Chain A
């Protein structure tokens, strides 16, 4: 059996796959975004720290109350030391004019407040503006000291991290989808052995078991439980077989003695009335035997016993043999028997029981039916339809179910042989072959057509 090709939207498997997918995507996104935020925060903190240290250094050299020139000198001195590259220092007056420092462009906006911020600035001797984190400090006289550090490389690094994160996220989506499909498939395939086993059992193959699974997970436990249940069913079946065999033995031995006694009595009596009575007794014991035999055959077939006797046979040939056996007796009744079938139709069957089923149906129509009898064989895509039809009075639709049940005789006054086991046996034989029995009107809405629907052999070895 292949894996289910289309996973239904409402199925647990599909929901699980979706859950796996979403969780994977969320986990991936959280990891990447979190990492980005962490790096950003860390860089920012470092830059702020650096800028504040720089500012504090300058302000210890020249206090805010010192004159502009002292501070400007300190700035130039600090810048000339070239100890730390990438620093920005500037003294800006109230109108935005740069008094000292290493930035070139005049600041467009005054920078009130003390909060560190990131601005684009052009350093002296540099062609392009760079992202710079600055800490503005208001001085006396409206001047502002800008101390900062260039964070352009950090920004570029973050941009790269962002791009990489997006790419990684896209990949995570694909991988998550893959993981979801794999998870769903894994579940389906882990259950597959159990499904196949139970499918085989459903078709009557009780010897199938789920293969051992050493993983010990829930699937393995399920398999073990299924196997235990099947063992129990098999044991009950074996007990049933023993019980039916014992019943057969227990009933048949006295029946054998009975017929032996009758045999002997027949040879001893000379009185005609006594001989007639013995003949009647023999007929009755034969009848009991036939009932016991048929009842046992039904039990065994319904229990699935006898599948080991299945052999491939040509059903057309089976019908032709039966036609040959029954034709003379039907001709005596002025009835005809014909076969409508393809030239050949091979199917694994229990030949003896199929013979018995068709024989029962013919015996029925000989006793209760009328008109021409047709044995038909039709090959459908999934089953073979084996039909026996006549043109008699048929069975009323509301009585058909009863007709198929054990001991379900339709007309108690009919007397004669059998105890209403004939059709029950036909049904049991159909069940043994994994099929069903259909009772319907005969051709042209007249009479009865009994069809055995026998499914074609499935690919279950």
Chain B
């Protein structure tokens, strides 16, 4: 996927920038780097980028100011803001300030990668209203709120239905536990207990048990992925 997608990374901390850039390059992205807000803004006005990863605290021009300037200039490239300010207000301010996603430091690289991929994909297919979702022989009818696999109806509780709907909307993508909590329940806080793992293992039992080919995969160190391929 993501054939030579270009990503702009604006981050002043050398170690963090190296870590993100090398990780993204390993995943096949082309990464341009800026170490201050002014350069970030200058490069960011180039619309070739599929996504901009923007640190919030930057020397010179602050990250939120760069974001405001970009949006003011009509640049609609998806932006994910990285910040050491993890408090709820900062997250809300970041999101209302025009960013598409907000990630508090420190984060696992897999979390950042999953979110970047989600943003790129979302901006590529501006989602038309859908009435059904599917993955291999798993089908979801959103109007009748019915799920079938290989023609057999699967009985799901409402919460399981919504979880599966989120996974189906991000088919073949890695979704992390925090993405599930945010996307399904609008819950911005990591519980100290493994609540998501239990949800997923129950859902997996219902959709994969009795079928040769599992669809719901665990991605080690990152989260989950729904897809036909292993």
Contact = CB atoms under 8 A, between A and B. Distances in A.
Interface of A: 245, 248-249, 252-253, 255-261, 263-264, 266, 285, 289-290, 293, 296-297, 300, 305-306, 308-309, 321-322, 324-329, 332, 350, 352-353, 355-356, 359-360, 362-363, 366-367, 417-418
Interface stretch (B116-124, B131-139, B188-196): B188-196
Going nearest first, the 8 A-B pairs with the smallest beta carbon separation are A256-B106, A260-B19, A252-B84, A363-B192, A249-B84, A352-B88, A328-B198, A257-B15
5 contacts: A248-B87, A258-B106, A285-B106, A300-B87, A309-B88
Contact of B191 (A245, A248, A359): A359
The SS class assigned to the B binding surface is loop
Contact of A255 (B57, B88, B105, B189): B105
Contacts of B88: 297, 306, 309, 350, 352-353
B198 A329 contact: yes
A245 B90 CA distance: 10
Contacts of A366: 193
A246 to B, nearest CB: 9
Given A255-B106, A256-B106, A325 B192 contact: no
Contacts of B186: 321
B192 to A, nearest CB: 4
Contacts of B193: 326, 329, 362-363, 366-367
A285 to B, nearest CB: 8
A253 B86 contact: no
A366 B15 CA distance: 38
Contacts of B198: 328-329, 332
B46 interface: no
Nearest to B106: A256
B89 A308 contact: yes
Given A257-B15, A363-B193, A263 B109 contact: yes
Contacts of B106: 252, 255-260, 285, 289
B19 A253 contact: no
The SS class assigned to the A binding surface is helix
Interface string B166-201: 000000000000000100011111111111001100
Contacts of B146: none
B86 A326 contact: no
B189 A359 contact: yes
A266 B220 CA distance: 12
Contacts of A321: 185-187
B145 interface: no
A305 B89 contact: yes
Interface string B141-166: 00000000000000000010000000
Interface of B: 13, 15-16, 19, 23, 57, 84-89, 92, 104-109, 159, 181, 185-195, 198-199, 202, 221
B218 to A, nearest CB: 15
A417 B188 CA distance: 19
B89 A309 contact: yes
A245 B92 CA distance: 16
Contacts of A418: 192
Contact of B15 (A260, A359, A362, A367): A260
Given A355-B189, A417-B192, A245 B108 contact: no
Contacts of B15: 256-257, 260
B84 A248 contact: yes
A245 B85 contact: yes
Given A249-B57, A249-B85, A306-B87, A329 B109 contact: no
Given A259-B108, A297-B87, A366-B193, 4 more contacts: A252-B105, A256-B106, A290-B192, A352-B88
Given A253-B13, A253-B16, A257-B19, A328 B105 contact: no
Contact of A352 (B109, B189, B192, B199): B189
Contacts of B189: 352, 355-356, 359
A260 B86 CA distance: 18
Contacts of A264: 19
| Most chain B CB inside 10 Å of its own CB: which residue of A290, A325, A350 | A325
A247 to B, nearest CB: 10
A244 B40 CA distance: 27
Contacts of A350: 88
Nearest to A250: B84
A92 to B, nearest CB: 109
Nearest to B201: A328
A349 to B, nearest CB: 12
A337 to B, nearest CB: 12
A328 B186 CA distance: 18
B84 A257 contact: no
Contacts of A296: 86-87
A325 B187 contact: yes
A449 B124 CA distance: 50
| Most chain A CB inside 10 Å of its own CB: which residue of B87, B185, B191, B199 | B87
A328 B163 CA distance: 13
A325 B187 CA distance: 9
